[in-house]
């Protein structure tokens, strides 16, 4: 039986949940508010999220999560502070709560080192303090990388103000997982209806846009060793990579996009890995492996938003070679997230 390490497993702490309840009751126009109200202020839910009761699953580690992992044969969860993380809070509160969540996560991983690994959080809107937290996460706390949820106050990661964070992560060989959150105020336009704000569509558009801005801006010429992980089978980019590459190369030739040392396809292949979280489609997974290479594809559940058993059945029934299974189920995760 193959070791199973699930790599986009959501979790939170009561202090972050309490602060998000304040956000739910605040006048913010952020599109994340729909989900935040539903999950963290369920009595005032208008999105239906309150009925799905994700909060218990997010707060829980040992009551339901671990017994289910035992029942379904999941060896490890790589735990991540769930979206939108601390990014809707003011920079000081965000910095403090990220550090608190990181301390709690380190305790969970130290208590059960063969069952839990973790990605630390930071406050992108305080980049210098965020870079320090990256160093603390990878050093003192011995966690396995970093998690962040897309834009912060509408700014994307091609913006030089975030670069101290990438400098620290690259120097420490720390992978940064870019998880979705609701599209930014400038992107949200027609994405506010029909539940398109989050997992069905807006999440993919939000992260995909961030990814393309990072690649097309030449960020990876500046940080050639920086490794980014994304979820949800690569947030639609693998399917579209030929067209993205063709059109960006053409735009560079006619001076419409900045010249870069490598092509978009090379940046995506060299500087990104992606997980299968929330996309339990064997054809999509086979295409992703064949198109981007098995070393770039990592299994994940996306618990508690995805139920655990179907995600385990999906990967155990997936037709692949032993070498592919080894890479998908734990080999790539061990390399990318420094898991022993």
Ligand X SMILES: COc1cc(C(=O)O)cc(C(=O)O)c1
List active site positions.
302
Footprint (CB under 6 A) of ligand X, residues 187-206: 198-199
Residue of 35, 98, 165, 311 interacting with ligand X (CB under 6 A): 35
CB of 193 to Mn ion, least distance (A): 22
Pick the closer one to ligand X by CB: 233 or 312. 233
State yes or no: residue 80 binds ligand X (CB under 6 A).
no
Footprint (CB under 6 A) of ligand X, residues 225-244: none
**Rounded distance between C-alpha atoms, residue 274 and residue 262, angstroms:** 20
State yes or no: residue 235 binds Mn ion (CB under 5 A).
no
State how far Cα 295 lies from the chain centre: 18
Which of ligand X, Mn ion, none sits in contact with 171, Cβ below 5 to 8 A by type?
A: none
Rg of the chain, C-alpha, whole Å: 19
Which of Mn ion, ligand X, none sits in contact with 198, Cβ below 5 to 8 A by type?
A: ligand X
Tokens, residue 68: 């289910």
Q: Taking each helix axis as running N to C, give the angle between helix 33-40 and helix 14-24, from 0 to 180 degrees, rounded to the nearest 10.
A: 120
Size of interface with ligand X, in residues (CB under 6 A): 8
**Rounded distance between C-alpha atoms, residue 323 and residue 14, angstroms:** 41
Residue nearest to Mn ion (CB): 302
CB of 202 to ligand X, least distance (A): 11
Where do we find the tokens 């790589």? Answer: 78
State yes or no: residue 302 binds Mn ion (CB under 5 A).
yes
Footprint (CB under 5 A) of Mn ion, residues 7-26: 8
Pick the closer one to ligand X by CB: 101 or 168. 101
Say which residues have a Cβ less than 8 Å from residue 205's Cβ, sequence separation at least 6: 183, 187, 191
Closest C-alpha among 279, 285, 291 to residue 320: 285
Which of ligand X, Mn ion, none sits in contact with 119, Cβ below 5 to 8 A by type?
A: none
Residue 27 sits at the vertex; the CA angle it makes with 21 and 29, to the nearest 5 degrees, is: 100
Q: Where are the beta strands (DSSP E) in the chain?
A: 5-11, 76-81, 116-119, 146-148, 176-178, 228-230, 272-275, 297-298
Q: Which residues bind ligand X (CB under 6 A)?
A: 35, 82-83, 198-199, 278, 302, 305
């Amino acid at each position: 039986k193959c070791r199973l390490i699930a790599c986009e497993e959501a979790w939170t702490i009561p202090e972050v949940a309490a602060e998000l309840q304040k956000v739910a009751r605040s006048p913010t126009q952020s599109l994340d508010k729909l989900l935040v109200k539903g999950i963290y202020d369920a009595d005032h839910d208008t999105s239906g999220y309150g009925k799905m009761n994700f909060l218990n699953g997010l707060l829980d580690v040992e009551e339901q999560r671990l017994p289910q992992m035992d029942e379904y044969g999941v060896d490890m969860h790589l735990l991540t502070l769930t979206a939108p993380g601390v990014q809707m809070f003011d920079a000081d509160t965000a910095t403090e709560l990220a550090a608190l969540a990181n301390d709690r996560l380190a305790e969970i991983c130290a208590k059960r080192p063969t069952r839990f690994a973790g990605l630390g959080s930071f406050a992108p809107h305080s980049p210098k303090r965020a870079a320090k937290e990256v160093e603390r996460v990878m050093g003192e706390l011995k966690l396995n990388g970093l998690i962040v949820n897309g834009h912060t106050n509408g700014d994307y990661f091609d913006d030089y103000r975030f670069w101290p964070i990438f400098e620290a992560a690259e120097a420490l060989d720390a992978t940064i997982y870019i998880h979705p959150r609701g599209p930014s105020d400038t992107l949200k336009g027609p994405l506010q209806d029909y539940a398109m704000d989050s997992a069905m569509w807006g999440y993919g558009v939000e992260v995909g846009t961030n990814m393309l801005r990072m690649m097309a801006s030449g960020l990876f010429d500046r940080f050639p060793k920086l490794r980014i992980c994304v979820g949800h089978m690569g947030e639609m980019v693998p399917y579209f990579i030929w067209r993205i590459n063709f059109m960006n190369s053409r735009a560079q030739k006619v001076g419409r996009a900045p010249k870069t040392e490598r092509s978009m396809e090379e940046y995506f292949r060299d500087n990104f890995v992606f997980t299968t979280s929330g996309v339990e489609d064997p054809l999509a997974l086979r295409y992703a492996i064949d198109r981007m290479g098995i070393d770039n594809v990592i299994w994940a559940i996306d618990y508690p938003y995805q139920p655990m058993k179907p995600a385990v059945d999906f990967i155990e029934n997936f037709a692949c070679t032993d070498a592919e299974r080894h890479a998908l189920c734990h080999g790539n995760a061990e390399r990318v997230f420094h898991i022993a």
